[in-house]
């Protein structure tokens, strides 16, 4: 459902409420009947995965990431086609050589009553992001934001960056009221106000009746955290929650047969493995590009989709959605499954089959450690065991190490304690170069943490190819630049191997209406979601 459609529904719901007091004679009987079922005093109970909020320091993100409770808002938003649309900024313009001017929406207030204007955006958005490592993805400094007048603000990044507007869509770049704490009690401008938070248990928000736009259709929302997928599924079946994230694919048919509704997003997410090309012994085997390419062509992605993901995925070999890359998606050649070619690559690299079928070179077994997972090992199961079996066919022994959350996963990655790292990621930015630059780029202007670059940086040619993505004004050329650079990383260097494009799967009770999955799950809007019945 498009935002415009949601506004129509919301307007009709409010009209129906007015009709109950004597107005609304023009509504059809059918429309009145449908909207009369909405319970505007309802609480929507949502089952999320695990609680990964950061509560301290400049990266604090309570209520924003990864479970976005719609407390804070960004200057701009991305729709389901990855197009940038207005939010707190009504319009914007580029002022060469490196400045963006934002014209802010008037009449907006933060939940504590402070007016949203250029000064509060400077303090609560740009100055806050400037305190992050490297000034965040937008490369902010304390001098970046300059107030022009009450509702106009200029922003200049510390490096040339024409992707600023596209990067501002991320909820971690949302506007907080000056003086509020994003780790304890976030105060935003969003359609929902913060109520309370119990770590590892729940976060609760309530309708902001003073919201500048359409009003939410539920009075409260509670996000409950269920790291275990079976516990989350049982909570939905028992009626403890109304809607659940990350439904296991093998449970979809069973839920539908029990009368639950299944919703899936278009492809915005991906499942990929990062190969440690820069490790030290005992994690140095994948420094050989031929071994990496053997793995790349030795995995049957279609079998993974059909047998493991129950057909609820694609065989795309890109970690930027093909829809975002347009025609340039075809520039990423990827790897076709070929078991014999994979074996030949290993033979040529000097790895010969041993007595038990596991390959050996200079007395060393071809044994790799696979680390799972991001956002958690629970979400990614059973893909690691599938990969273990696929690589066993090549004569590669795989040990699986599971991590419960992204922090512990990235800790091992940062210390290069593993050979293969598997994750579910998502394109959460309108900038098509967001992920390859954030995760793999090591050249001038790099803003990544270095964790992924430390194991999977493809090298100087990749950096040379992707660097113009920071400053290219033409969108079609940008798509071509990004696709060409990703082909270098995926096809030529094989440091990152996308396995599949992934649909985000949600399950919900029939009483939940208006929920529209977003390909960037961080940007789900809860405005049009309602609950029927008492």
CA atoms of 79 and 524, how far apart (whole Å): 10
pLDDT band at 278 (very low <50, low <70, confident <90, very high): very high
Supply the pLDDT for residue 449.
57
Supply the pLDDT for residue 405.
86
Helices (H) and strands (E) in the chain, counts: 18, 24
Beta 505-508 vs 261-264: how paired, if at all? antiparallel
Report yes or no: 514 and 6 within 8 Å, Cβ to Cβ: yes
Supply the pLDDT for residue 35.
53
Residue-wise pLDDT for 70-98, tens only, equals 999 999 999 988 889 999 999 999 999 99
pLDDT band at 8 (very low <50, low <70, confident <90, very high): very low
Polymer length of the chain: 534
CA atoms of 161 and 181, how far apart (whole Å): 29
Q: What is the DSSP letter of 122?
A: I
Residue-wise pLDDT for 350-401, tens only, equals 999 999 999 999 999 999 999 998 988 988 999 999 999 999 999 999 999 9
Residue-wise pLDDT for 210-259, tens only, equals 999 999 999 999 999 999 989 999 999 999 999 999 998 889 999 999 99
pLDDT band at 36 (very low <50, low <70, confident <90, very high): low
pLDDT tops 50 at residue 424: yes
Give 445 or 2, the one with higher predicted confidence: 445
Q: What rounded mean pLDDT belongs to the chain?
A: 91
**Domains of the chain, each with CATH number or no CATH:** 1-36 (no CATH), 42-51+192-265+504-534 (3.40.190.10), 72-189 (3.90.76.10), 269-502 (3.10.105.10)
For tokens 């959460």, the residue is 428
Supply the pLDDT for residue 473.
87
For tokens 């960004």, the residue is 74
CA atoms of 474 and 478, how far apart (whole Å): 6
Lowest mean pLDDT among 199-208, 234-243, 446-455, 458-467: 446-455
Question: What is the mean pLDDT of the segment spanning 145-156?
Answer: 98
Report yes or no: 141 and 20 within 8 Å, Cβ to Cβ: no
pLDDT band at 447 (very low <50, low <70, confident <90, very high): low
Supply the pLDDT for residue 448.
54
Report yes or no: 4 and 531 within 8 Å, Cβ to Cβ: no
pLDDT band at 189 (very low <50, low <70, confident <90, very high): very high
Report yes or no: 231 and 89 within 8 Å, Cβ to Cβ: no
pLDDT band at 120 (very low <50, low <70, confident <90, very high): very high
Supply the pLDDT for residue 323.
87
Q: List for the chain the helix, strand, coil content (%; round to 5).
A: 35, 20, 45
For tokens 């008037």, the residue is 106
Report yes or no: 169 and 429 within 8 Å, Cβ to Cβ: yes
Supply the pLDDT for residue 501.
94
Q: What is the DSSP letter of 300?
A: -
**Residue 286 in tokens:** 């994948």
pLDDT band at 31 (very low <50, low <70, confident <90, very high): very low
Give 486 or 24, the one with higher predicted confidence: 486
């Amino acid at each position: 459902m498009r935002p415009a459609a949601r506004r129509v529904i919301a307007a009709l719901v409010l009209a129906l409420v007015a009709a109950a007091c004597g107005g609304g004679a023009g509504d059809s009987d059918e429309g009145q009947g449908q909207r009369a079922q909405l319970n505007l005093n309802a609480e929507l109970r949502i089952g999320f995965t695990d609680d990964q909020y950061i509560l301290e320091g400049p990266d604090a993100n309570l209520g924003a990431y990864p479970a976005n409770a719609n407390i804070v808002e960004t200057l701009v938003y991305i729709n389901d086609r990855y197009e940038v649309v207005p939010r707190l900024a009504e319009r914007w313009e580029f002022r060469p050589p490196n400045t963006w001017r934002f014209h802010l929406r008037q009449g907006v207030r933060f939940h504590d009553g402070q007016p949203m204007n250029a000064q509060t955006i400077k303090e609560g958005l740009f100055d806050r992001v400037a305190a992050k490592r490297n000034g965040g993805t937008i490369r902010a400094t304390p001098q970046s934001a300059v107030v022009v007048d009450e509702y106009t603000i200029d922003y200049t990044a510390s490096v040339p960056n024409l992707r600023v507007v596209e990067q501002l869509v991320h909820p971690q770049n949302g506007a907080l009221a000056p003086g509020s704490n994003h780790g304890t009690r976030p105060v935003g401008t969003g359609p929902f106000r913060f109520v309370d938070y119990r770590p590892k248990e729940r976060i609760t928000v309530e309708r902001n009746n003073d919201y500048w736009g359409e009003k939410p259709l539920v009075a409260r929302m509670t996000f409950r955290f269920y790291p275990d997928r079976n516990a989350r599924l049982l909570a939905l079946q028992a009626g403890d929650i109304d809607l659940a994230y990350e439904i296991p694919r093998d449970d979809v048919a069973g839920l539908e047969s029990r009368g639950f509704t299944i919703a899936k997003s278009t492809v915005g997410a991906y499942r990929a493995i990062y190969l440690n090309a820069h490790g030290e012994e005992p994690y140095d085997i994948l420094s050989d590009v031929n071994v990496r390419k053997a793995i790349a062509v030795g995995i049957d992605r279609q079998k993974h989709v059909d047998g493991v993901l129950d057909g609820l995925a694609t065989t795309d070999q890109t970690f930027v959605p093909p829809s975002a890359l347009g025609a340039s998606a075809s520039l990423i050649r990827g790897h076709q499954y070929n078991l014999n070619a994979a074996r030949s690559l290993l033979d040529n690299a000097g790895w010969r089959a041993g007595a038990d079928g596991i390959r050996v070179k200079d007395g060393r077994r071809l044994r790799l450690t696979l680390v799972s997972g991001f956002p958690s090992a629970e979400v990614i199961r059973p893909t690691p065991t599938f990969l273990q079996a696929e690589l066993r066919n090549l004569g590669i022994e795989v040990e699986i190490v599971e991590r419960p959350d992204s922090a512990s996963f990235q800790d091992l990655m940062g210390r290069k304690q593993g050979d293969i790292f598997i994750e579910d990621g998502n394109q959460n930015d309108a900038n098509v170069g967001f992920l390859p630059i954030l995760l793999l780029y090591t050249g001038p202007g790099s803003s990544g943490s270095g964790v992924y670059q430390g194991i999977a940086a493809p090298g100087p040619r990749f950096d040379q190819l992707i660097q113009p993505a920071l400053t290219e004004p033409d969108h079609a050329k940008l798509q071509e630049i990004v696709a060409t650079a990703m082909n270098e990383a995926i096809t030529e260097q094989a440091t990152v191997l996308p396995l599949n494009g992934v649909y985000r799967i949600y399950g919900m009770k029939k009483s939940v209406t208006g929920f529209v999955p977003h390909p960037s799950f961080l940007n789900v809007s809860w405005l049009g979601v309602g609950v029927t019945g008492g």
